[in-house]
């Protein structure tokens, strides 16, 4: 009986944690639009991280009204970047790279965790960003 109560309490604790995380995740995400100029590209300097692309710098041209340094691009045109290798991320981003592409954006200061693997992932590490994006 005590064992069943302990299991029930643990299940409730885990469920409450998931609900809090889901609320946090949805509050920390926002939608945006990628700006791309013919000669300037997107004007972004980014590095791959476990959640997507960490934006390090944004050039004045074409400018990115919806992004700021420290943001993480979590997805593009509905394709999630989290969990992809740097090479896979580059392929997905490049294949969706266009002016007006829909972005899902999160904040690097409050990393978004979606699984035990994400929680154990290393912090963002330097990796080559797509070469044709700047």
- Tell me the pLDDT tens digit for each residue of 70-119: 999 999 999 999 999 999 999 999 999 999 999 999 986 554 444 334 43
Question: Tokens representing 54?
Answer: 């960490």
Least trusted range by pLDDT, from 20-24, 41-45, 77-81, 99-103 = 20-24
How many structural domains are present in the chain? 1
How would you class 82 by CB atoms within 10 Å of its CB: exposed for 0-12, middle for 13-18, buried for 19 or more? buried
Q: pLDDT grade, residue 29 (50/70/90)?
A: confident
Residue 83 placed within a domain? yes
Whole-number percent of the chain with pLDDT over 70 = 69
Residue 21 placed within a domain? no
For residue 66, which of 29, 93, 38, 13 has the smallest C-alpha distance? 29
Roughly how many angstroms between the first and final C-alpha of the chain, as a whole number?
A: 62
In CATH, what number is assigned to the domain containing residue 129? 2.30.42.10
- Are 50 and 82 in contact by the 8 Å Cβ rule? The answer is yes
Residue 113 placed within a domain? yes
Residue 120 placed within a domain? yes
Question: Tokens representing 124?
Answer: 């963002």
List the domain range (segments joined by +) for residue 126. 29-133
Mean pLDDT of all residues in the chain? 79
């Amino acid at each position: 009986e005590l064992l069943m109560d302990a299991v029930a309490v643990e299940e409730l604790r885990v469920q409450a944690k998931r609900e809090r995380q889901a609320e946090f995740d949805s509050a920390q995400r926002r939608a945006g639009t990628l700006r791309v100029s013919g000669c300037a590209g997107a004007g972004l300097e980014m590095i791959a991280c476990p959640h997507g692309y960490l934006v390090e710098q944004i050039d004045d041209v074409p400018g990115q009204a919806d992004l700021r340094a420290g943001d993480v691009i979590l997805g593009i045109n509905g394709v999630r970047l989290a969990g992809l290798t740097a090479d896979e991320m580059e392929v997905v981003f490049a294949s969706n790279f266009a002016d007006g592409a829909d972005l899902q954006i999160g904040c690097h200061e409050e990393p978004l965790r979606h699984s035990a693997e994400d929680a154990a992932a290393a912090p963002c590490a330097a990796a080559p960003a797509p070469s044709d994006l700047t």
